[in-house]
């Protein structure tokens, strides 16, 4: 199952050629990941305050496929690929209709408040696995 998040391309997202600046795709997929977690009922602020756990990107592989342009309505699809003790791997795709514009494989790691990897609580792993 995948989560879908819509985003409109604003003028500020584009470069002089009128296409989405490459780094902005990373912002788009970050927003989609946040909404995916929120949609699963996970309050990241409470998770941090109660357990000290935060998520950080450990690795990202990106493919720029077709440029998106000013005023395009894009859909970011997020799909869980794998979940481990402290790691989560996702695939994310940015599409304009049926056209794939950008794809990424993102590995997240759970970190403790000391910045060290932290094991995900079992109940949190279960919630993420359902998403």
CB 84 within 8 A of CB 58: no
| Residue of 13, 15, 71, 113 with catalytic role | 15
Backbone angles phi, psi at 108, to 5 degrees: -105, 150
* 71 flagged as catalytic: no
Phi, psi of 123 (to 5 degrees): -65, -35
Long-range contacts of 20-26 (CB under 8 A, 24+ apart): 20/67, 20/68, 20/69, 20/72, 20/101, 22/64, 25/62, 25/64, 25/94, 25/101, 25/102, 25/104, 26/60, 26/62
Catalytic residue annotation:
15
């Amino acid at each position: 199952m995948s989560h879908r998040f819509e985003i409109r391309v604003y003028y500020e997202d584009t470069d002089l050629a009128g296409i989405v600046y490459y780094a902005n795709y990373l912002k788009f997929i970050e927003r989609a990941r946040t909404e995916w977690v929120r949609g699963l009922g996970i309050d990241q602020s409470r998770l941090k305050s109660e357990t000290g756990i935060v998520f950080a990107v450990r690795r990202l592989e990106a493919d720029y496929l077709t440029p998106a342009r000013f005023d395009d309505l894009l859909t970011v699809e997020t799909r869980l690929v794998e979940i481990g003790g402290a790691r989560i791997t996702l695939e994310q795709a940015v599409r304009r209709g049926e056209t794939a514009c950008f794809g990424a494989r993102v590995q997240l790691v759970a970190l403790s408040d000391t910045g060290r990897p932290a094991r995900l609580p079992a109940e949190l792993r279960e919630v993420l696995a359902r998403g």
